[in-house]
Structure 1
Amino acid sequence: MASEPLGDRIRAYRSMRQMTVRGLAAQAQASASFISQLERGQTSASVGMLRRIAVALGITVADLFSEEEASGHRVVRRAERPELHAGQGSRKYLISQRPLQNLEVYSGEFEPGASTGDEQYTHGDSQEILLVLRGAVAVHLGEKSLLRMGPGDSVEYRTSVPHRVVNDGEEEAEVLWIIGPPTPD
């Protein structure tokens, strides 16, 4: 038999993501009855299936076995933010922690001349807000839109629109990205 705590954690993560059993099953390439049985501790899952479930939930397999609560508040200290790979002269940090629920939040720091990359990029089709905290940046949106932004300025767009951020100022810039719902990695 499967572990009930594992099933409880899968159910908690699924609920936080506002997913149905059928929705999780479809994304994990499993049957709804299998997911239901797994959540009730009536069956076990292979490592491959657990990986697919974790990906569908936006978490890691390790999160499925974590002793920490799947819900509640979480504090992330600035020094403990996970750093994501970014281009030279820029740093990107995940502020919202997995499992991502309704939104994801990132902080970015750009040295003068640094950017999110040489090319515009897309990721999913969610709503994204970029807020400039300090410094000045140019935001490229699609083929024709270029916005110059300073501290306190924000812009909202779809993540399916090609976009890119460049620090075109003379001092370090810091921005905040807020994306909802979370986009696939």
Structure 2
Amino acid sequence: MEFPKEEVGKRIRYLRRLQGLTSEELARLAGVSQSMISQIERGQVSPSLETLWKLSHSLKVPVFSFFETEVSNAVTITRAGETNSIKRVRPNVSYQLLSPSTGKQMSFFKMIVAPGEDLDSPLMYHAGEECGLMLVGSLSVEVEGEIHTIYEGDSIYFDSTLPHRFMNVSDEDAVAVWAMTHSF
């Protein structure tokens, strides 16, 4: 299931209003224009990954919460084939949410990086910590200017406040299971 930009915009509007923020206040907090917030919330534009991270930090929610509906169960099981896929955050990367992150302190997801993901992708940084386990292929993970390559069976951990990005310079999909904490 892919999330249309209209649904992402509605979710951002819901979270903004839930916190009692005006679109002008959110724009100021996130360092974007008020018209950008308005266009995102009305589903007229798809926010970039950088903008999504800024909005998640400003709203003090995990970035994946923009792609979820509310889940209030104490125990949630995500069955095979029932995962939500997000493909529009970055062009060569798809994320399959394996657990709810709304109201949670951690996100758990499967990350698939298509061949060709390279140094042109933007650096990310956000509150929290990340760790991943490489299932298939290999992945180069740049953290604060240093590139670390992980292969099948390898794992990695790092502080998400450090600038980072993922690159797949091989000719096959790189598949990893990832967990990310959220601290604001």
TM-score past 0.5 threshold: yes
What range describes the TM-score normalised by the shorter chain of this pair?
Answer: 0.5 to 0.7
Aligned ranges for residues 51-130 of structure 1 at < 5 Å? 51-52=18-19, 63=70, 70-84=72-86, 85-114=88-117, 118-124=121-127, 126-130=128-132
Conservation of the 8 A alpha-carbon contact between 2:105 and 2:183: no
Deviation at 1:128, TM superposition (A): 1.0
**CA RMSD, 1 decimal:** 3.0
Instruction: Please say which structure displays the higher CA radius of gyration.
Output: 1
**AA in 1 matched with 2:19:** R
Distance change >3 Å, CA 128–CA 98, structure 1 → 2: closer
**AA in 2 matched with 1:105:** F
Give the structure with the larger strand fraction.
2
Conservation of the 8 A alpha-carbon contact between 2:134 and 2:150: yes
* Paired positions, count: 128
Conservation of the 8 A alpha-carbon contact between 2:101 and 2:107: no
**AA in 1 matched with 2:179:** I
Distance change >3 Å, CA 116–CA 103, structure 1 → 2: farther
Conservation of the 8 A alpha-carbon contact between 1:112 and 1:172: yes
Conservation of the 8 A alpha-carbon contact between 1:90 and 1:116: no
**AA in 1 matched with 2:92:** G
Tell me, in whole angstroms, the C-alpha distance in 2 between the residues paired with 1:100 and 1:134: 30
State the TM-score, normalizing by the size of structure 2. 0.58
Conservation of the 8 A alpha-carbon contact between 2:130 and 2:160: yes
Distance change >3 Å, CA 179–CA 98, structure 1 → 2: closer
Helix, strand or coil for the counterpart of 2:18?
A: helix
Equivalent position of 1:179 in the other structure: 180
Conservation of the 8 A alpha-carbon contact between 1:132 and 1:151: yes
State the TM-score, normalizing by the size of structure 1. 0.58
Distance change >3 Å, CA 183–CA 107, structure 1 → 2: farther
Percentage identity across paired residues of the two chains:
17
Deviation at 1:91, TM superposition (A): 0.8
Tell me, in whole angstroms, the C-alpha distance in 2 between the residues paired with 1:149 and 1:179: 17
Long gaps (5+) in structure 2: 1-13, 21-58
Helix, strand or coil for the counterpart of 2:140?
A: strand
